[in-house]
Amino acid sequence: GLEEHKLIRELIALGYVQKEYKNQSLMDAGKACVLSLLKRGLFSVWWREGILRMHDLLHDLAVSIAGLEFKMVRSKSDEIDERVRHVSFIKAGICWDSLSKVTHLQSLIIENNNVTNPQLTKLLRFSPHLRVLRLARVGMKEVPT
């Protein structure tokens, strides 16, 4: 699951949220977008308030439609295509060599992994298109600049 405000910020960063009227803030437009997804049943509010979860069937469909643009890495031996745009490492070893060859990386999610500053610094230097970086439980206190 993902907290609503984090999802909204990621949608904004990736350019998926558009204002409906001139004076509307992007956060308000994002909230309206998420509310619309909730009303359509694409997301549900999980047991804790503010945590959104996509239904498994819809998640699988979205991953299938995304094709080469999205990769959820499940083990360190998983291959990462150079054309991928969104990569997620959750409880899986990070293959830095393969990841460094991705030329148009837009979002990177790393959870439950040990990440070092030199590794992340190198990746950030060669990822000019990166719009979303989510690090959770990675043992890092400060993101390199």
pTM comes to 0.74
Q: Cα(55)–Cα(53) distance, rounded to whole angstroms?
A: 6
pLDDT at 120: 81
50 and 66 belong to one structural domain: no
pLDDT at 48: 63
What residues contact 104, with CB distance under 8 A and at least 6 apart? 83, 85, 129
Q: Sign of dihedral through CA atoms 32, 34, 39, 40?
A: positive
Q: Cα(51)–Cα(43) distance, rounded to whole angstroms?
A: 10
pLDDT at 1: 64
Q: Show pLDDT as tens, one digit a residue, over the chain (145 residues).
A: 678 888 889 889 988 899 999 899 999 999 998 888 888 888 887 766 668 888 888 888 888 888 888 888 877 778 888 889 998 887 777 877 788 888 899 998 888 777 777 888 888 888 889 898 888 777 766 666 6
Q: Cα(31)–Cα(25) distance, rounded to whole angstroms?
A: 10
pLDDT at 94: 80
32 and 70 belong to one structural domain: no
In a domain, 28, yes or no: yes
65 and 48 belong to one structural domain: no
pLDDT at 55: 80
30 and 76 belong to one structural domain: no
In a domain, 44, yes or no: yes
In a domain, 70, yes or no: yes
41 and 78 belong to one structural domain: no
Q: Cα(97)–Cα(121) distance, rounded to whole angstroms?
A: 14
50 and 117 belong to one structural domain: no
Domain range for 48: 2-54
